Amino acid sequence: MRRHRNVKIVATLGPASNDYAMIRALHEAGADVFRLNMSHGTHDDIRARHAIIRQIEQDLDSPIAILADLQGPKLRVGSFARGEEELVEGADFRLDLDPAEGDAARVCLPHPEIFAALEPGANLLVNDGKIRLTVRDCGPDFADCTVTVGGVISNRKGVNVPDVVLPLAALSDKDRKDLEFACALGVDWLALSFVQRPEDVLEARGLAAGRAAILSKIEKPAAVKCFDDILAVSDGIMVARGDLGVELPVQNVPPIQKRLVRRCRAVAKPVIVATQMLESMIESPMPTRAEVSDVATAIYE
């Protein structure tokens, strides 16, 4: 079963899609690439999914690419005792370094570099900007916030701090370990999160040493500014619209997407448009008309 269409489909595997039958069904339905998210799960989990994909590839005599997505310097909250909490607009909420499980009043944010850089009035955006917190008071190990846009917050959701410049390394210690593990496992692609400059890509390329292709995720304004330099040292690009749309005004994202896709096509390098594709189908069996148009636009580009 070989597909010859130019457009490929990347599917992220999760708890509901981690057995042979489901992964095979996804591939037969059209998934060409399976994304393994290194932010979640253990190496044993990743190894098991990798083995299943390779078995399906062999059973169907159909090539399947595997993409290991490194966490990168992604800022995430810790875990909650109940898995999730509802934050109500106007409520108080604390972020701190205490590793204890969170509740409706607080949660751990294990990133001291954030607290060192925060000032009262700064905004923190959680879960791709769905929740907004405004800092009232802060110190080296805490930030007391007011919920200005409420919503459900759950385990390990991402945090953006658009008002603050944070000194973050391109690859964390976890990323280096995950990179070596993924290369030894035999993945086809490594996705680098929060790339800001070409040096970030070159570091990962040196560690991979030709064992996997390098896909740079564009999700920071700095990466957009030096995109051509990043593209030159990357094997492929992912336009990751989630964090990009949090860090930049949302109306700027569509023209940026179009421009970056065109530049990739001009130099014959693969480009993936990602984040919130068909997101309503998490709850609904049918996509919205806007989502259909969004997917079609990405294909036409």
Mean pLDDT of the chain, nearest integer: 93
Residue 55 lies in a domain: yes
Distance of alpha carbon 77 from alpha carbon 160, whole angstroms: 11
Using a cut of 0.95, tell me whether the model's pTM lies above it: no
Domain region containing 32: 10-73+170-300
Residue 46: alpha-carbon gap to chain centroid: 16
What's the pLDDT tens digit per position in 119-133?
999 999 998 789 999
Contact 114, 166 (CB under 8 A): yes
Q: Phi and psi of 111, rounded to 5°? A: -135, 85
Nearest to 230 by CA among 255, 258, 267: 267
Helices and strands, counts by H and E, the chain:
10, 16
Torsion of CA 40, 272, 237, 125, to 10 degrees: -50
Would you call 226 helix, strand, or coil by DSSP? coil
Distance CA 42, CA 173 (A): 15
Are 122 and 130 in contact by the 8 Å Cβ rule? The answer is no
User: How confident is the model at residue 163, as a pLDDT?
Assistant: 66
Whether 20 shows a pLDDT value over 90: the answer reads yes
Alpha-carbon distance values, 103 to 130, 131, 134 (Å): 18, 16, 18
| Residue 279 or residue 251, greater confidence | 251
Nearest to 104 by CA among 68, 133, 80: 80
State the CATH number of the domain containing residue 225.
Answer: 3.20.20.60
- Match 């062999």 to its residue by tokens: 58
Tokens of 61: 């005599």
The tally of domains found in the chain comes to 2
- Taking the C-alpha atoms of residue 260 and residue 81, their distance in angstroms, rounded to an integer, is 41
Closest C-alpha to 245, from 205, 285, 276, 286: 276
Catalogue the active-site residues: 35, 76, 217, 275
91 and 175 fall within a common domain: no
Same domain membership, residue 91 and residue 149: yes
Judgement on whether residues 134 and 235 belong to the same structural domain of the protein: no
Domain at 110, CATH number: 2.40.33.10
| Judgement on whether residues 18 and 115 belong to the same structural domain of the protein | no
Calculate what percentage of the chain has a pLDDT beyond 70: 98
- Measured distance CA(265)–CA(112) in Å, rounded: 40
Contacts of 123 (CB under 8 A, 6+ apart): 132, 133, 134, 135, 148, 161, 162, 163
Could you tell me if 178 and 61 lie in one domain?
A: yes
pLDDT tens digits, one per residue of 141-182: 999 999 999 999 999 998 988 867 677 777 999 999 999 999
CB-side neighbour CA atoms (13 Å) of 120: 2
